[in-house]
Amino acid sequence: MSYENLAGRTAVVTGAASGIGEATAVLLAEQGARVALLARRGERLEAIAGKIRADGGQALAVVADVTDDASVAAAVERVHTAYGAVDLVVNNAGVMLPNPIVDARVDEWQRMIDTNVTGVLRVIGAFAGDLDEAAAQGRSADLVNVSSIGAHVTGFTNYAVYGATKAAVTHLSALLRNEFGPRGVRVTNIEPGLTESELATHIDNDGLRAQVGGMVEAMGTLAAAELADVVAYVTSRPRHVNLRQVMVLPTAQV
């Protein structure tokens, strides 16, 4: 499929070493965007960026940790040096660590808050000026935040803190439209359901990991490329069209 208005754009994708982030970076590059891939795993990023370049695209691998101020600042400098200002930001980095609240896993709570909420804010703050500049010049400017269906669904027992962090991202996205929208910057919040990713591999509770496997077996999953297709679609609309919130689920997930 071909998308209009993506060729010549400059994109940043966080969490780009796997899953939705990787698929999004690959698709945007295929459509002619210059893409900076941000994540912590340097070797993995270099491999993906190398494949993009081998296929004729433009890609920059940038090792960055969204939970660290200095790391994000260094990433911004590297992106600006290589590509200049950015006009498309995909906030995809995230972590899911479910456990019963009675276990009081403060380490997990903090990690999810630092990555899923504060990390998203760091990236937005780092590139907000770029997005404003692009819009002021009459060009498309997009902020895409990847949240989760968990922001709304309360039936996922033991996922309370994860769901709360994603609810924060969903609400943040809605509120940011008040700031960005009048200046011509689009804000889109995407809420995937069950999707192929590495999220479940971080779960250290055997029972909960098996529960995720059972859900996948019963309802199926979305492919990461299908979420990338959604990102490419919303960011390729005419610049006066903002798809502000998109919920994407496997058909069997209720």
Would the pLDDT of 72 be above 80?
Answer: yes
pTM for this model (two decimals): 0.93
What's the pLDDT at 156? 77
Question: Which of the residue ranges 181-185, 205-209, 220-224 would you say has the lowest mean pLDDT?
Answer: 205-209
CB 199 within 8 A of CB 1: no
Per residue in 78-90, pLDDT (tens digit) is 999 999 999 999 9
pLDDT at 157: 82
pLDDT tens digits, one per residue of 131-166: 999 999 999 999 999 999 999 887 678 889 999 999
pLDDT, position 220: 72
Look at residue 212 and tell me whether its pLDDT is greater than 80.
no
pLDDT at residue number 3: 85
What are 17-42's pLDDT values in tens digits? Answer: 999 999 999 999 999 999 999 999 99
Q: Is the pLDDT of residue 73 over 90?
A: yes
- Residue at token pair 């060009």: 139
Higher-pLDDT residue of 235, 3? 235
User: 41-45: which pairs have CB atoms within 8 A and are 24 or more residues apart?
Assistant: 41/17, 44/17, 44/18, 45/16, 45/17
The whole-chain average pLDDT of the chain stands at 92
In this prediction, residue 2 carries a pLDDT of 67
Report the percent of the chain where pLDDT is more than 70: 90
The percent of residues in the chain predicted with pLDDT above 90, rounded, is 80
Confidence (pLDDT) at 4 = 84
* pLDDT at residue 213, rounded to an integer: 61
User: Quick one: 10-248 is in which CATH superfamily?
Assistant: NAD(P)-binding Rossmann-like Domain (3.40.50.720)
Amino acid 195: pLDDT: 82
**Residue ranges of domains in the chain:** 10-248
Per-residue pLDDT band at 254 (split at 50, 70, 90): confident
- Residue 204, pLDDT score: 63
Active site residues: 162
